[in-house]
């Protein structure tokens, strides 16, 4: 029996950023057209805002492993859908931050999350 994928959910950048700040332990990877950062058990994520830019840092101990800087005002829409490249049993979600002209939007940044945008209670303190 074929199951239909749930439809993609959309939201604005500010709502996604607020949600992401509460779910840093749920980031499996993130990136742009030029780079990708992958989570690891020894790493943790730091999120901050500097001069109207949104910064994600991947840290090991006190050392910076990698950094992605996003310009939130360039993001016109955030789409959330099940990750097509993952085993459906894992429940991973692909988040694509879209920008550019309405006629031809492009993926500016992407995230793979351990779960969807719905609130997941009781998991803040540990790694997925």
Is residue 34 in some structural domain?
Answer: yes
CB environment 57-84: b (16+ within 10 A), e (fewer): bbeeeeeeebebebebeebbebbbbbbe
23 belongs to a structural domain: yes
Residue 69 lies in a domain: no
Tens-binned pLDDT, residue by residue, of the chain (128 aa):
344 455 578 899 999 999 999 999 999 999 999 999 999 999 999 999 988 899 999 999 999 999 999 999 999 999 999 999 888 888 899 999 999 998 999 999 999 999 988 754 555 544 44
Total domain count for the chain?
1
Task: Write out the residue range of the structural domain in which residue 104 sits.
Answer: 9-38+74-113
87 part of a folded domain? yes
pTM: 0.83
């Amino acid at each position: 029996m074929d199951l239909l994928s749930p439809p993609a959910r959309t939201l604005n950048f500010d709502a996604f950023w607020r949600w992401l700040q509460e779910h840093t332990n749920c980031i499996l990877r993130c990136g742009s057209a030029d780079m990708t950062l992958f989570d690891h058990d020894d790493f943790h994520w730091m999120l901050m805002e500097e001069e109207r830019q949104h910064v994600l840092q991947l840290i090991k101990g006190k050392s910076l492993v990698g950094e992605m800087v996003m310009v939130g005002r360039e993001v016109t829409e955030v789409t959330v859908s099940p990750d097509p490249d993952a085993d459906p049993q894992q429940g991973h979600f692909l988040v694509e931050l879209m920008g550019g002209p309405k006629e031809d939007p492009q993926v500016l940044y992407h995230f793979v999350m351990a779960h969807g945008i719905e609130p997941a209670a009781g998991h803040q303190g540990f790694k997925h």
